[in-house]
Structure 1
């Protein structure tokens, strides 16, 4: 005999067709919003600034910056370490406006 069979010997037999234990017949409460909350509409000032809506000058400065730091062994952007050329390219990129002035 196995260990499992000795454990099953102490369990009551399963009888098919018996009713399940009594279930509380009271209706369950429902969650309902008591009062409607009126929220003021948010003002949309303009489209989100991203590379697709940026100025061509900003995209050019970004491309120069990324092209440089990807190949330069002296530049490491996560720590802010740049070579002389990389620091100038980074400054140009940081100072180029992303959105056009109106």
Structure 2
């Protein structure tokens, strides 16, 4: 018998869901999730980098990355973004197409 199981033997059983507080419905405050399927691949030169990129591209990249790093709704590997993340990704893609 472990120390933890000995401590848990003296605790009363819990009823599932009985101790959870009720939360207000905040569906209007939450960002809407959007799944974006991408079929195109990057078509840039082999020497493209952030050093040789335009300031517009770097700004779009930084805004997009800053958002997806803190947004709990966005998950870039699967292409899942909230409405703000979708707009930032679209802006980034537009600039990427015009500034290779």
TM superposition score normalised by structure 2: 0.50
1:69 Cα deviation after fit: 0.1
4+ long deviations beyond 2 Å: none
> RCO higher in 1 or 2 (8 Å CA, sep ≥ 6)?
2
Partner of 1:16: none
Which structure shows the higher strand fraction? 2
Partner of 1:51: 50
1:75 Cα deviation after fit: 0.2
Is 1:69 matched up with 2:68? yes
C-alpha distance 82-47 of structure 1, shift in aligned 2 (>3 A): closer
Structure 1 runs not aligned, ≥5 long: 1-45
Q: Contact between 1:49 and 1:98, CA under 8 Å: does it hold in 2?
A: no
Instruction: Tell me how far apart the structure 2 counterparts of residues 47 and 62 of structure 1 sit (CA, whole Å).
Output: 19
SS in 2 for 1:50: coil
Aligned residues: 54
Which structure shows the higher helix fraction? 2
Instruction: Tell me how far apart the structure 2 counterparts of residues 65 and 84 of structure 1 sit (CA, whole Å).
Output: 12
Bigger CA radius of gyration: 1
Instruction: Tell me how far apart the structure 1 counterparts of residues 67 and 46 of structure 2 sit (CA, whole Å).
Output: 30
CA RMSD of aligned residues (A): 1.7
